[in-house]
Homo-oligomer: A and B are copies of this chain.
Amino acid sequence: MRRMSVVVPGVLFGLALPAFAADPLPSWNDTAAKKTIVAFVEQVTREGTVGFVPVAERIATFDNDGTLWAEQPMYFQLLFALERVKTIAPQHPEWKDKEPFTSLLKGDVQGALAGGEPAIGQIVMSTHAGMTTAEFDQIVKNWVAGARHPVTKRLYTEMVYQPMLELLAYLRANGFKTFIVSGGGIEFMRPWTEKVYGIPPEQVVGSSVKTKFELRAEGPVLLRLPEVGFIDDKAGKPVGIQQHIGRRPIAAFGNSDGDLQMLEWTAAGAGPRLCLFVHHTDAEREFAYDRQSSVGRLDKGLDEAQAKGWTVVDMKNDWKVIYPFEKR
């Protein structure tokens, strides 16, 4: 008996139709964005036609922050780091007189972050390195299970976009392999992406610190070093895609200029392509920001999307609900 590989139900039953014959995207309004997505999936799954793409090549890549979950008032991973500084401060008496920690421990986040990238780098490295990969995994799992968003008071994993969850499931039902390609930390995402998005650890691409194999008395460990390994952002995204996936995606989803090169790389392949930006236009249900935002800026990307005819999702008008909890 041979291995059964991932199958498209439509193909399984000898049909040329994509899966989810009912409404695959119930939280999407019937606007152009949804029509473009459905038309693309129908095109690449219709065997015997020029647009058909074999299952093995149906690679879809998704940014995470601002594309699959929210990213305001700041990246959730930074909120994790800020909280973590407080948690481990007792082990760091020297932080009493060392910026950005002094400000942070006084509750002055603005003051701490005023130090810009070097300050953020210190906060991230002091909270993301110096432990084993197994220890960090557990730290993230504990945080994600209980930490709450400062504005909505929801768990962070509740602040994922219901329409994007449907899109992930729809693509997978049609033979796509879905990947995350995020500027966020690869080991910050892996502990929860399978449960929340259905994306297993081996399909998560992200930024990373260097790690080092060590044989300790209790056994081998991988130690997380306070040294940047890879930055999976902007021009780094196609690099990360090639390194981890080794094939060019046929569909890519982002929300900011940090995703622009991923979409360019995706668009440059032969055959049908779907390049999509989520545009944060809904100040009431979520947040509204684009060209001027320091978090998730969408400026050049918006221009290029318009010039090249990529899909831009208007969250306010294209999505019936934002978060899964709105449905309940």
Q: Is the CB of B213 within 8 A of A247?
A: no
Residues A233-250 near B (CB distance < 8 A):
235-236, 238-239, 242-247
CB contact between A246 and one of B4, B187, B247 (< 8 Å): that residue? B187
Interface centre among A59, A190, A238 (most CB of B within 10 A): A238
Interfacial residues of chain A within 277-319, with CB under 8 A of chain B in the complex = none
How many A residues are at the interface, by size bracket? Answer: 35 or more
- Nearest CB of B to A314, in Å: 27
Report A33 CB to chain B, min CB distance, Å: 22
Taking CB atoms, residues of chain B closer than 8 Å to A238 are: 213, 220, 222
Bound CA span A211–B236, Å: 9
The distance in angstroms between the C-alpha atoms of A204 and B238, with both chains bound, is: 17
Stretch at the interface among A6-14, A34-42, A99-107, A111-119: A6-14
Nearest Cβ distance between residue A297 and chain B, in whole angstroms?
19
Q: A1-B9, A6-B5 are in contact. Are A245 and B169 (CB under 8 A)?
A: no
The answer to the question of A133 belonging to the interface, with a C-beta cut-off of 8 Å to chain B, is yes
A13 to chain B, nearest CB (A): 10
In contact, A169 and B20 (Cβ under 8 angstroms): no
Q: Is A328 an interface residue (CB 8 A)?
A: no
Query: Judging by beta carbons under 8 Å apart, are A190 and B12 in contact?
Result: no
With A173-B1, A222-B238 in contact, do A261 and B202 touch (Cβ < 8 Å)?
Answer: no
- A114 to nearest B CB, angstroms? 32
Interface status of A92 (Cβ within 8 A of chain B): no
CA distance A261 to B212 in the complex (A): 12
Contact assessment for A235 and B208 in the assembled complex, using a CB-CB cutoff below 8 Å: no
A200 beta carbon closer than 8 Å to chain B:
yes
A153 within 8 A of B: no
Indicate if A19 sits at the interface (CB-CB under 8 A): yes
Highest count of chain B CB atoms <10 Å: which of A186, A187, A200: A200
Q: Mark A195-212, 1 if CB is under 8 A from B, else 0.
A: 000101111100010011
Contact B201 A246 (CB under 8 A): yes
A3, A133, A222, A247 — most chain B CB neighbours (10 Å): A3
A244 contact set on B, CB distance < 8 A: 202, 244
5 A-B pairs with C-beta separation under 8 A: A59-B202, A187-B246, A208-B243, A222-B238, A244-B244
Q: A2-B169, A3-B198, A201-B245 are in contact. List 6 more A-B contacts (CB 8 A).
A: A1-B9, A1-B19, A3-B6, A211-B239, A213-B236, A213-B238
5 nearest CB pairs, A to B: A201-B246, A213-B235, A3-B172, A219-B268, A202-B245
